[in-house]
Structure 1
């Protein structure tokens, strides 16, 4: 809806230009400052980082982690998306299973696998050593700290993202295609490979791009598990360089340069190939429906994934949290609640929970109006083409560039004049705002596109101005989407780890960063109890999200 009058037009242009400048300062400036530092003094940062003796191994490990975790995620995510379409009606609740790894704290999931698959006291390894094939071993046979298992765990975590894209793509496949394949005598497997997969190509390409970027910038599993075996990737190299004394920001920036370049290339590529709105269009007269009806094998596939990716790691965390120490010996006599009591008495833990909740809420409340402004610009202001394009690219960058890079960028930007925020909650809030801008924008963008402009045109015809129309028509219609986005962003922020680890201080911690400190100090039972606490906070957020937005709210991710 365009405003009439030259003064009104210029006022809106200036308002949107100011919004873009704020976004550019928040998103682009830390990245520019970080990368320019790497080129100072004759590119000393690049010489320092890429002259290290182990840099070739680090690059190879980063590439292997990204590629093989992508393969795992693409296979598992696609199979799960197809399987969930064939679940029996009474098993429909299992459709949530592939999505849950996104909302479960990644640090809790990773330490859960460590408790299960550590070479010595890992519970699954102990059971495996009881089998005749490995009865002669004193440790293993699985080593969770090896690159192979870091890749596998990362692949499981990325599966959810691929599943969301592929599952959404399946809803855009007309049922007529599947019926035609069935009439032609194709089997279920044949239909999947000959009909479904080719039609899913856009979703697969988009999902693969996102999963590839997440794999390249993977931080949590390599940091928590890789230190034992000296496994390094570019993301952890950034953390190590920024944790040195003195801090080597230039080398940290150089380590992240390949990740920034890949992120920008993928973001531009997605915009060029797929556009902004095509993924919201449906096709055909009939929605996607499985050939051959429901299947018990579909139930088995989803259940096995849930067991391996969710239940087993969570069980490992629960067991360790209920024991006085982590060992291979289990007994009912050892179970205790002392670790949970320690959550209250250990300095800093309660404060970290409060900080996590407060910073997450404040960041979300800032993100929502920013997201609405950008979404309104992109949908309603077709006359501001340049501003729309710039806004689209800026808001997409935090999704394509690893959070650890923004963390280092914010650490550099806000530890020196004119705005020194290090050690305060404000810097955590700002980096959280940047990370959540894509979610706030895309969810409201989708809702505005679906709403169309007929309601606003009718309001304008009746004599209402733009502000009155927004207050009486647009915002009330967007209320469910806004509430859902608030709940979902809160869930994601309460267990954010990578960026938080960079901008936290000794006196300002969130749950994930304090958990990492205790993990590094070997306080494994307290780590387990904290992981359960983080999961409980996230679970409360999920419950609120489902209460506000309905059972399908997680699919809006």
Structure 2
């Protein structure tokens, strides 16, 4: 190999520099390292999706023929669109009302701002089970109370049937309202309050200001938040699976699950069926990146920051409390009563409550093993996802030297936000059930899918902290002669300590109750809490399912408490 050397400077002046850059220069080494990093993440996140599409198009696109030629495909698509649109409307109305109410809380009630976020961190599978215990047609607790009213006293079941599409839409909408709340709350903070004050000084009422000024200013936020909620509605899995299966309410995600878990297994058809959801999700991610552009633009903004220009609203505080009761307290109360009963019935006899169900699930090795697996897999995934997210956030904030690579990395990391977890679960199941890496049946397939799903959250939480810190500390350290690694270790990481701890706790919370992907990649030896709960639910042992759901909720509560303790009360809003 010929080594090119720089020519010496002569008396006549410097010679022309070599046309070839030194491959060992720091800039080139950084580029090479970044390319390798992107390739590794791309293999983890993109490869399962590519393999699914390759399978769907194999044998002359037979998967598409099977999926979209089925007799019930029209009904399935109709249910999916109905679920996503209906839940979107509910989520937009509730989320916006909650954000407005949170901006007008009376003094001393600021802690209520956390309440609208709770449905995100409460295990969805536990919450849905709680709704079933409340509104199952015959033994549902609230249905039994409603039948005591004069209007429904002649009924033997109902009047609510939680297993029908309208109620699945309602339950989904309540859950998605938390996401809309996060977007709209952030939108409120970006509104210059001088605009609202000027409108009120001109004589406009608060209601007129809200509809004529505030809502138009929130339009971009509502459009983006609504598109995210619509996508999440399209990819809903837990509520349709637990509530809609026996009543014939199937959506695309549940149909994909059945295609891959029932004999004969039809992976190609499942992959084809999920393609529209994947394409819509990827387009949404691309739209987000194009719309937001350089995220440093959002670090500060001129004018007076938003503050509520109206009087504190006790009505708004009451609305948030009512939302908490409906979305969280009632389902958990139902879980508690069922878990303390020998069997599930519409009557609650306080004298016969027992902890026998908890004794039963904890004495059986399946549940303790599942709890242990959930904790271990989640901790290992956090230990991987957090540093990966740190590196990604660093590149997004300070990778101006590599704009193309930074854009590619930004898109790759955002893909799991747009693609439903069910599709990732099927993709990982298919990818790691064959060479070169056969991981199905081992803990690593769950850990890897957890990492893939959580890298966007790990990145976003740390990115917001880095943007808030700005560049002054980093630049001062670099000017003093410290290198990048030393600056990160001695300056940046200590400044981010509380945020990192809060992010770790929140990711742990999200992983301990992950259900959709876990259900598809689990094996008999790698059960986690959510999959064991589903098995109890499927076999009709509802008190045991309720006991496991409460255990999951308890683990979540501890994680949320740690997140707030370590990262502050605002840490939940970084989800």
TM-score range normalised by the length of the shorter chain: over 0.9
- Contact 1:31–1:409, Cα closer than 8 Å, also in 2: yes
Tell me the residue number matched to 1:424.
442
- Partner-residue secondary structure (3-state), 1:267: helix
1:494 corresponds to which of 481, 489, 512 = 512
Tell me the residue number matched to 2:293.
275
Answer with 244-253 or 221-230: which moved more. Answer: 244-253
> What TM-score results when the alignment is normalised by the length of structure 1?
0.97
- Contact 1:173–1:284, Cα closer than 8 Å, also in 2: no
1:110-167 CA-partner distances (Å, limit 9, x unpaired): 0000000000100111111111211111111100000000000000000000000100
Structure ID, larger Rg: 2
Tell me the residue number matched to 2:352.
334
Distance in 2, matches of 1:508 and 1:88, equals 48
Q: After superposition, where does 1:4-19 map in structure 2 within 5 Å? A: 7-19=25-37
2:196 corresponds to which of 146, 169, 178 = 178
Tell me the residue number matched to 2:525.
507
Q: Give the drift of 1:60.
A: 0.4
Q: Does 1:53 align with 2:71?
A: yes
Q: Give the drift of 1:528.
A: 0.7
- Partner-residue secondary structure (3-state), 2:441: coil
Distance in 1, matches of 2:475 and 2:113, equals 39
- Contact 2:382–2:504, Cα closer than 8 Å, also in 1: yes
Q: Give the drift of 1:555.
A: 1.5
Q: Give the drift of 1:464.
A: 1.7
Distance in 1, matches of 2:318 and 2:477, equals 52
Tell me the residue number matched to 2:276.
258
Distance in 1, matches of 2:300 and 2:477, equals 28
Q: Give the drift of 1:351.
A: 0.5
Q: Does 1:232 align with 2:250?
A: yes
Tell me the residue number matched to 2:237.
219
Distance in 1, matches of 2:44 and 2:570, equals 32
- Partner-residue secondary structure (3-state), 2:152: coil
1:370-404 CA-partner distances (Å, limit 9, x unpaired): 11111111111212111101101001100011001
Tell me the residue number matched to 1:147.
165
Answer with 257-266 or 460-469: which moved more. Answer: 460-469
How many pairs were matched up?
554
Q: 1:163 to 1:279 in 2, by over 3 A?
A: farther
Q: Give the drift of 1:492.
A: 0.5
Distance in 2, matches of 1:318 and 1:187, equals 46
Q: Does 1:325 align with 2:371?
A: no
Distance in 2, matches of 1:367 and 1:239, equals 26
Q: Give the drift of 1:479.
A: 2.0
Q: Does 1:42 align with 2:26?
A: no
Q: Give the drift of 1:177.
A: 1.3
- Contact 1:172–1:281, Cα closer than 8 Å, also in 2: no
Q: Give the drift of 1:449.
A: 2.2
Q: Does 1:355 align with 2:373?
A: yes
Distance in 1, matches of 2:297 and 2:31, equals 28
1:312 corresponds to which of 308, 330, 339 = 330
Q: Give the drift of 1:97.
A: 1.0
Q: 1:276 to 1:114 in 2, by over 3 A?
A: farther
1:66-90 CA-partner distances (Å, limit 9, x unpaired): 1110110000000100011111112
Tell me the residue number matched to 1:122.
140
Tell me the residue number matched to 1:484.
502
- Partner-residue secondary structure (3-state), 2:222: helix
Q: Does 1:384 align with 2:402?
A: yes
> What TM-score results when the alignment is normalised by the length of structure 2?
0.94
Distance in 2, matches of 1:319 and 1:244, equals 34
- Contact 1:68–1:155, Cα closer than 8 Å, also in 2: yes
Distance in 1, matches of 2:539 and 2:51, equals 34
Q: Give the drift of 1:5.
A: 9.6
- Contact 1:173–1:283, Cα closer than 8 Å, also in 2: no
Distance in 1, matches of 2:480 and 2:261, equals 61
Distance in 1, matches of 2:368 and 2:238, equals 23
Answer with 25-34 or 321-330: which moved more. Answer: 321-330
1:184-229 CA-partner distances (Å, limit 9, x unpaired): 1121211111111111122212211211111000000000000120
Distance in 1, matches of 2:496 and 2:350, equals 52
Tell me the residue number matched to 1:538.
556
- Partner-residue secondary structure (3-state), 1:229: coil
Distance in 2, matches of 1:9 and 1:295, equals 56
Tell me the residue number matched to 1:370.
388
Distance in 1, matches of 2:482 and 2:112, equals 47
- Partner-residue secondary structure (3-state), 1:525: helix
- Contact 2:361–2:544, Cα closer than 8 Å, also in 1: yes
Distance in 2, matches of 1:32 and 1:5, equals 32
Tell me the residue number matched to 1:29.
47
Distance in 2, matches of 1:91 and 1:467, equals 43
Over the aligned positions, Cα root-mean-square deviation in angstroms equals 1.4
